[in-house]
Each structure stands twice: as structure tokens, then as C-alpha cells.
A and B are shown apart, each in its own frame.
Chain A
Amino acid sequence: MKIMVAIKRVVDYAVKIRVKPDKTGVETNNVKMSMNPFCEIALEEALRIKESGLASEVVAVSMGPAQCVDTLRTGLAMGADRAIHVETQGNLYPLSVARIIKALVDVEKPGLLILGKQAIDDDCNQTGQMVAGLLNWPQGTFASKVVLDKEKQIATVDREVDGGLETLCLDLPAVITTDLRLNQPRYATLPNIMKAKSKVIKKVTPQELNVQIKSDLEVVQVTEPPKRKAGVIVSSVDELIDKLKNEAHVI
């Protein structure tokens, strides 16, 4: 069985972002970019499944500008066997990404598709669900545990839901999206980084995949959130209780 993992290049999670003065978006020039943390977890899970002998190949895919190749290279250094880069320009919304992934699935025929639960830039939390819908595959979103049964061709998934955990059983092929607690992603070692340079990254365009990039959303403006007014530092518990009681009136 082949596993496909979708990877997104985003502004590094530790960077304090800046909104552009013209309100068209967030500054991404000269900002550190990394693999989306949830995508790292997705890739790690795919690699572990392969290492346990339940999968034969891990294919990493990414959509976006030319620099996505760097992110895919990181994925190859972690252990992915090969990569596919779908080069696109401009804004790409989850619906288009889901369509591209579906087209890649139709070509590659993986038995399992793993994605992160959300990208930390657009915070959409949609792509996995949408591609599952387009493929008519079952979905296991917000996964914190995945157990595959090769014999029965099923995946048992623990999901992090409001108020606890939920366990589902999915027939393969299926789509799984990863939550934070699924695993601890590995670091790429130097020898593996060197090895990754000789691995193949295939380049395709949405046209070649027959996918129309449709955009039914328009960003009107991006602004900074309202600033909170400066607070005060109190010196004792008594003062704190007094302020909460008589100034803020919350207790």
C-alpha cells in the first residue's frame, strides 16, 4: 500500500507575523518559512506506518510556488520516498487544494491519505474533509491514534473531539487528518538530508491534472486585531482580589 501525505509551506510557527501596511495580507517576504507543524505530524505517521511494514511507499505532495520544493525536500529528508510538486501562483483555497489532491490520488492510487488537521496560516481546517468528500472516502479527522489492520483493510482512529475522545473504524482507502498528539515528528539527520538531494521531486501543473483553480472567495482586507489596553501589575493577592471585585466587577 502506498501512503500519500499533503504538505504545506507556511510562515514558521514561532514568527510574530506582521500585517502589511496596505492591508492586503501578511508580510511573507524575508520571513522564516517552515513545514506546517500538523503536516510534519502527518508525514511522521506515514513513515511509522511504513517502518512497521504496513506500507510500501510514502509520497509527499505540495501545492504552491516554486519554494515549496524546499519544504518537500525537508519531507524527503525525514524519510518520504519521493515527492510531487504542483506549481501554482496566487491564492489557493482549500477547495482547489482538495481538487488537486484528488487528481493526484486518481493518478497515484494510494491506500491512505494523511493530512494535517489545519494549516497554521489560514487556520481553515477544511482540506482533509473536502478531499474525503470529493473522493467519497471515509474520513478520520483530528486523529490522536491510528491503528491499521492490513488483513481487514481498516484503520481504527481515535479522534480528539469536544468533551473527550471518539473511536472510529474506517474502511481503506481513507483520509486521516492529524492532531497535535498523534506523534512526535523526527528530525532529519545530516546523512538523510544529503540522501534527500538525490530523491525525485516530480513537477506538474494544475492544467496537466485537468484541475481548474476556482476562486469563490475574495480577501477584502487583512488587519491587525484590536490591541488590548495596557494592564497593571499588582503587588499582592489582596490588591488583586480588590481590583477584581471593585474595579472589574467580575467576582
Chain B
Amino acid sequence: MATRAMLGGFKNRSINFRISSIYRSLSTLVLAEHEGGSINSQSLSAVEAAKSLCEDNSVSMLLAGSGPSLREAAANAASCHPSISQVLVADSDKFAYPLAEPWAKLVHMIQQKSGYSHIIAASGSFGKNILPRAAALLDVSPITDVIEISGSHLFVRPIYAGNALCTVRYTGSEPCMLTIRSTSFPVAPMSADSKSNSAPISQVDLSTFGEDAIGKSRYIKHTSQDSERPDLGNARIVVTGGRGLKSAENFKMVEKLAEKLGAAVGATRAAVDAGFVPNDLQVGQTGKIVAPELYMAFGVSGAIQHLAGMRDSKVIVAVNRDADAPIFQVADYGLVGDLFEVIPELLEKLPEKK
């Protein structure tokens, strides 16, 4: 029995070895988002993740859209990250808006032609919308919100609102498809000399692009929340308000404090549902996931679903009247007190931002 178990173990190991040697060279397709002629920073995190799959990974970035802003974005993509070895551009009116139907079709078509070993997108609303649909067309299981890459087919992802970490091995056929949590793959600031090397840009041949699913969905409009403040997903400091703020009027105090710190503003679900702020500021399991250097929570109790969105912040500060609030269990610095007194005092005493 024991020998057999040992033999079994040995057999397994040799199979694993063989699998890893098949994937000697990796080639990765990164689905990228662009806006106003530049690549969005989450997509650069996806390139960073592609780089950590393996040393000699050849990374292609796929851009789709139409017109001059696409050309500008392509030029930008070619030189925005040293790991990008090729930029693929799909230029057509069909991609004027990031609709899932044509995008998934495009990914399917490119994969059948070029056979990438991996396809990666950042797990923003763009990647989460498109990548699973493309995976279904390719008949493979995608992996959502990867926070750590332990091997070319071994990944760690949070489950149960971040209360457990699951290590999964992908055992299916190529491509292995992932969305990655961008806060887990920070992009190193680019040095001046790396800017000089520029990746080749090639147009995707769309002559065989099928029409069937296209046109069943049409883009109507986008309502954006104009904000001068830094983007919530990438801010160095995030100041968040919860139900404790009591009104939209009072929430302005949080915004003022954020302004003073050069921070982004976040909110809990309770604050969003009560109408204090728009929903794209929601931090949590179903909202944005942030991991800033400093996270300050005012009037936030610290529900499981909220902690899921901010527990990886470097320093957490909590101000709450209730000394038993769960937020104090994750806070590095807690202050038990009335936020209506604390915030004005902070506003007065905090140093001016440089």
C-alpha cells in the first residue's frame, strides 16, 4: 500500500514536471482599455501581472476602438511599458464603445489565429464584462481577481469577500484566462531610458470578423461623475465616509478633508444607498477594491463586505463613536470620538499638502 502511494506520488510529480515543460515559452495577450489616447493604468497592471507569469513571456497588448484616439493610444501603448513586445490594434466602428459582444468575438478570433498561452485583463468593470464571455466562446474556465501569481498556472484569489484565499491550479487547455486585481500588481514608475524602445504596432485583420452577435446591443450613453480628485482605484490616500455622516451635506466635510490631503473620496454601501454620494465611490466586495498607503474611515462600522474592499491598505485609520465597531479590529490607529468634532479639528491641524 505504502509503495503504491509513493509510486502514485511520484507519478503525479512527473506529470506536473511534464506539464511545466510543455509551457516553456509563454505568450500573453493583454486586453487593454484606453481613454483620451492613453492606456489606463489598470491595464498596465495587467502587463505587470503578465510579466510575473514567467521571465521570457512575450506580451502583446490588444487595443480596440476607432479613429484618431485609437491611433494615439496605440502609439502610447507601444512605449508605455518595457515588457510589451507587440501592440495589436483593431480599428473599426464596431469597437467605438467597449461592448462585450464584439470584444469577446475579437478575442476569440485572435486566439484562434495566434494561440496565446494566457489572456489577461484587469478586473475593472471592462475586464469583468468582457473576459468571461470570451472564455465561454473559447470553452475554458476563467479565473477572476487574481492577487498573486505563483506559477504559470497557479494563482491565488480571494473568496468569501476576502475572508479566505484560494490557491487554484488551471489544468485546462490553452488559453489560461485571468482578470487580475490591479492593486496587487503595482506598476513601477518608468525610467527615462526605457521610453526609447518602442514595440511594433500591427493592425488586426478584421476581414473574417463575424457579424452574428454584433448589433444586438447598442451603446446609448455614459454618465460620468466629474471629479477633480485622484482616481479612487489608484489614489495614495483614500478618505471614506459611512452612514455616520448622516447626510449628503455633512459628507462635504469628508470631501474637504480629502482635498486637503490630496486624497480620493470613498464611501460605504450605506452612504451610497442613503444618497450621500454616487455609487461609483463605493468601496467593498461589490464596489471598488482599494489598497492605498493611507485609508481613513469616518463613521464606518466595518462590515465584512466593506472590509473586503480596503483590508490591504498599508495604514488604516478609523474614527468612530462606537468603541466596539469592527473597523477598530483592522485599524492601525483608532480614535474613539465624534467625527463631527474630529474632522474639523483634523482640517485645522493637518499640514498643508505640498
| Chain A: CB-nearest residue to B160 | A17
Is the beta-carbon distance between B169 and A16 smaller than 8 angstroms? no
Within 8 A of B (CB), among A155-186: 156, 159-171, 174, 179-181
Query: Residue A233 at the B interface, CB < 8 A?
Result: yes
| Chain A: CB-nearest residue to B323 | A233
- CA A181 – CA B80 in complex, angstroms? 37
Is the beta-carbon distance between B162 and A225 smaller than 8 angstroms? yes
Is the beta-carbon distance between B134 and A133 smaller than 8 angstroms? yes
| Chain A: CB-nearest residue to B346 | A237
Is the beta-carbon distance between B218 and A250 smaller than 8 angstroms? no
Query: Are A164 and B273 CB-contacts (below 8 A) given A225-B163, A241-B349?
Result: no
Query: Residue A251 at the B interface, CB < 8 A?
Result: yes
- CA A200 – CA B223 in complex, angstroms? 43
Query: Residue B173 at the A interface, CB < 8 A?
Result: yes
Is the beta-carbon distance between B163 and A17 smaller than 8 angstroms? yes
- CA A169 – CA B124 in complex, angstroms? 21
Stretch at the interface among A62-70, A189-197, A214-222: A214-222
Which chain B residues border A221 with CB–CB below 8 Å? 166-167
Is the beta-carbon distance between B334 and A232 smaller than 8 angstroms? yes
Is the beta-carbon distance between A225 and B220 smaller than 8 angstroms? no
Is the beta-carbon distance between B294 and A17 smaller than 8 angstroms? no
Stretch at the interface among A45-53, A75-83, A91-99, A106-114: A91-99
Q: How far is the CB of B345 from chain A (nearest CB, A)?
A: 4
Query: Residue A122 at the B interface, CB < 8 A?
Result: yes
Which chain B residues border A137 with CB–CB below 8 Å? 213, 216
Query: Are A243 and B132 CB-contacts (below 8 A) given A17-B164, A120-B285, A164-B222?
Result: no
Is the beta-carbon distance between A237 and B213 smaller than 8 angstroms? no
Q: How far is the CB of A88 from chain B (nearest CB, A)?
A: 16
Is the beta-carbon distance between B158 and A123 smaller than 8 angstroms? yes
Which chain A residues border B279 with CB–CB below 8 Å? 144, 160, 181
Bin chain A's interface residue count.
35 or more
Which chain B residues border A206 with CB–CB below 8 Å? none
Is the beta-carbon distance between A248 and B351 smaller than 8 angstroms? no
Is the beta-carbon distance between B164 and A164 smaller than 8 angstroms? no
Query: Residue B159 at the A interface, CB < 8 A?
Result: yes
Q: Which of B221, B330, B333 has the most CB of A within 10 A?
A: B333
Q: Of B124, B165, B333, B345, which one neighbours A243 at CB under 8 angstroms?
A: B333
| Chain A: CB-nearest residue to B334 | A233
Is the beta-carbon distance between A120 and B161 smaller than 8 angstroms? yes
Query: Are A163 and B224 CB-contacts (below 8 A) given A140-B217, A216-B140, A248-B294?
Result: yes
Which chain B residues border A170 with CB–CB below 8 Å? 216-218
Q: How far is the CB of A235 from chain B (nearest CB, A)?
A: 8
Which chain B residues border A248 with CB–CB below 8 Å? 294, 315, 332-333
Query: Are A121 and B159 CB-contacts (below 8 A) given A179-B286, A217-B143, A222-B166?
Result: yes
Query: Residue B170 at the A interface, CB < 8 A?
Result: yes
Query: Are A218 and B212 CB-contacts (below 8 A) given A141-B128, A165-B222, A168-B219?
Result: no
Query: Are A123 and B349 CB-contacts (below 8 A) given A167-B220, A231-B332?
Result: no
Within 8 A of B (CB), among A1-27: 11, 13-14, 16-17, 19, 26
Query: Are A240 and B143 CB-contacts (below 8 A) given A26-B164, A130-B132, A219-B168?
Result: no
Is the beta-carbon distance between A95 and B141 smaller than 8 angstroms? yes
Is the beta-carbon distance between B350 and A241 smaller than 8 angstroms? yes
- CA A81 – CA B143 in complex, angstroms? 34
Is the beta-carbon distance between A241 and B346 smaller than 8 angstroms? yes
Is the beta-carbon distance between B159 and A166 smaller than 8 angstroms? no
Is the beta-carbon distance between B286 and A217 smaller than 8 angstroms? no
Query: Are A231 and B346 CB-contacts (below 8 A) given A216-B170, A225-B165?
Result: no
Q: Of A126, A131, A180, A217, which one neighbours B169 at CB under 8 angstroms?
A: A217
Is the beta-carbon distance between B222 and A166 smaller than 8 angstroms? yes
- CA A93 – CA B261 in complex, angstroms? 44
Query: Residue A205 at the B interface, CB < 8 A?
Result: no
Query: Residue A134 at the B interface, CB < 8 A?
Result: yes
Which chain A residues border B261 with CB–CB below 8 Å? 251
- CA A16 – CA B163 in complex, angstroms? 8
Q: How far is the CB of A227 from chain B (nearest CB, A)?
A: 9
- CA A62 – CA B214 in complex, angstroms? 30
- CA A179 – CA B284 in complex, angstroms? 13
Instruction: Name 10 interchain pairs, CB-CB below 8 A, sorted by A.
Output: A123-B157, A125-B132, A132-B100, A166-B222, A217-B170, A222-B159, A228-B332, A231-B332, A244-B333, A251-B294
